[in-house]
Amino acid sequence: MTYAATPTRPAAASAPKLHQSAHIAAEAWTQLVNQAGRQRMLSQRIVLHALLARRGDASAAGLARDSLAMFAFSHQTLSRGHPDMPMPADPRLTGAFHGTGGADPAVRDFVALAERALQPGAPEAAMDQLAGQATPILGVLQRVAQLYETLAQEAARTQRRQTTELIERIHRVAREARIVTFNARVGAARAGHAGREFAALADILALISEEVEQLATQAGQISKAA
């Protein structure tokens, strides 16, 4: 993924791009959890490199701006989503970002403060304010990361339950198909010569039912191992 080279403050007007959390793939949940966790590291990297730049490190200002760009982009994804990674539709997550005292305004303020502190000739007070926000923003981001982890675990449990229910339904249909097959064989036997074709179809149905049940059993074993 490529990020902008200059800091970009998250857009305030865009509405969250929501997605039913139960339907988000496990890989997408992993990306969201990792991204939420990475925000903590990026916030501290921004402050560290800004301080080093203030002390004369020639490369630190550029590193701070790059980290700020990644931080702002990640926040946009986590708090509002984007076409490739919609925000999970969960009221707890929406409230955590956009409710009273939510993370969204705190992150926006931190981004704006960092932008001011990284301006050439910025006053010392701006750097002091940014350094003073290092610990508070870390706490905000920690709560968001923990919530994403909780939601990911809940989604995984829901998906496992749905998989189990689907496998049970397949087993049930296969058992019913076996009963129908047995009755069909009995009927074909009673029909004698006229029932031979019907008996052949019943045999095919029996083989299909057996294969379906074997596949359901294998799927159940894979689900338990996952």
Return the biggest CA–CA distance within the chain.
Answer: 100
Is pLDDT of 184 > 50?
yes
In a 13 Å sphere around the CA of 85, the CA atoms on its Cβ side amount to 18
Residue 88 vs residue 131, higher pLDDT? 131
18-156 placed in CATH 1.20.120: yes
Summarised one tens digit per residue, pLDDT across range 76-86 is 989 888 777 77
Residue 183 vs residue 47, higher pLDDT? 47
Residue 192 has what pLDDT?
74
